Structure 1
Amino acid sequence: MAVSPAKFMREVRAEVTKVTWPSRRETLIATGLVLAMAALTAVFFFAVDQIIGLGVRALFGVGG
């Protein structure tokens, strides 16, 4: 089942015209939200790591 490159390109172009592209504002808002969630996740896991580390040090009496 071979498809000619020209037919493939026509089909790709037809599909691309169906896509609803986000506006610049929508893209900036989504990017900001992704960065904010990544930062929140990093802070959360840092805090959890510190708490677990304190517990391990207290339990085994090593470290600090």
Structure 2
Amino acid sequence: MAKTNPAQFIQQTRAEVSKVVWPTRREVLLTTGMVFALSAVAALFFSLVDLIFRNGLQAIFTYFG
């Protein structure tokens, strides 16, 4: 692997950073909203599953207890 000096490294790094396509403000807000919405849906789903398991186990323990 060829070694590069610090000046070449900085030049190559700047060249690569200039190729990055940054998201627009609208895209950032849209994806952030989707993350919050899907997190809420996942939290609701797992809360309901937990409630079902808890009630089921409580019924089983009450029946056999």
TM-score normalised by the chain length of structure 2: 0.84
Runs of 5+ unmatched residues, structure 1: none
1:57 aligns with 58
Runs of 5+ unmatched residues, structure 2: none
Radius of gyration: which is bigger?
Answer: 2
Q: Percent identity?
A: 48
After superposing the two structures, state which structure 1 stretch, 44-53 or 2-11, moved more.
2-11
Q: Which has the higher contact order (CA 8 A, sep 6+)?
A: 1
1:47 aligns with 48
Query: Number of paired residues?
Result: 62
Q: State the superposition RMSD in angstroms.
A: 1.5
* Distance of 2:39 and 2:9 partners within structure 1: 38
